[in-house]
Amino acid sequence: MKFSDQKIIVTGCASGIGAKTCELLKKEGATVIGVDRNPTTQFVDEFHHADLSDPVSIDALIEALPSGANGLLNIAGVPPTAGATLVLQVNLLALKRLTLGCVDKLADNAAIVNVASLAGVGWPEAIPSIKAASSLVDFDQVGAFCEEHNIDDARSYAFSKEALITWTMQNRWTWRDRGIRMNCVSPGPVETPILKDFIATLGKRVEEDMKVMDRPGTPDDIAPAIVFLASADSVWIRGTNLACDGGMFNHIQCAMNDLL
């Protein structure tokens, strides 16, 4: 089994893509260390409660997590209905704080996988704001940052994912002397408990995407790609954003390059 004797930390383990990822990891022999704001015992060997909107809770989590994990899968995230401040706090600042706080405790050759989104496809057009966000670490300053950079609720989700894709890319080699690599997976619309929240905020865009696609994705479609990037099978993949969206990202790339 691919994950025998491996300990994998999974945030967002209680539902959707996170729960499915834990299930697959267990099947492959992993010891799963689950993190969520909602308690669960399903597909999890050890559970840690955390509130990723609260830096005190994140720091306590970092302290509590076991040493020597072979993977850190950052799957937890909030939808645009959470509001701009919470979206950036959880989807970007918390993810970075947890990852940077854990990396010293990870085993050599560990894999870090971040769940980004098709919504982050426009990162090359947002470099100045993304660069400004790279020094944003204080959770209390997120509101002011959003105001300064015109990031409203509807924009916040895409921005959090653009910044995450960019951060993953920039850290392609940060820990390579220890064999630790980081990649991300970008799902398109997925049938999870938060799909209705995306439709509520992004509305037309999501509904049009789902018409162009033959169907929305499911956690069954996405979790195996996360597991691949967590496994030794992806050892030569570093800093990459893997589109896992039924072809939507490539559809957009074709449209942008006059290739339809």
Task: Indicate whether 68 belongs to the interface with a second copy (CB under 8 A).
Answer: no
> Which C-beta is closer to a second copy: that of 67 or that of 253?
253
Residues 6+ positions from 53 with CB-CB distance below 8 Å: 86, 89, 90, 94, 139
Which of 3, 123, 157, 198 is catalytic? The answer is 157
Active site residue 157: yes
Q: Is 204 helix (H, G, I), strand (E, B) or coil?
A: helix
Q: What is residue 106's DSSP assignment?
A: S
Q: Is the dihedral of CA 42, 45, 49, 52 positive or negative?
A: negative
- The least distance separating a second copy from the CB of residue 35, rounded to whole angstroms, comes to 24
- CB-wise, 137 or 232, nearer to a second copy? 232
Nearer to a second copy, 39 or 247 (CB): 247
Residue 129 binding a second copy, by CB under 8 A? no
**Residue closer to a second copy (CB basis): 53 or 168:** 168
Piece of the chain touching a second copy by CB under 8 A; list 31-39, 47-55, 154-162, 170-178 = 170-178
Burial class (CB in 10 A: 0-12, 13-18, 19+), 79: buried
Question: Strand order of the sheet with strand 7-11?
Answer: 46-49, 31-36, 7-11, 71-74, 111-115, 181-187, 241-244
Binding site for a second copy (CB under 8 A): 124, 127, 131, 166, 169-170, 172-173, 176, 181, 214, 217, 221-222, 224-225, 227-228, 232-240, 242-247, 249-251, 253-254, 257-259
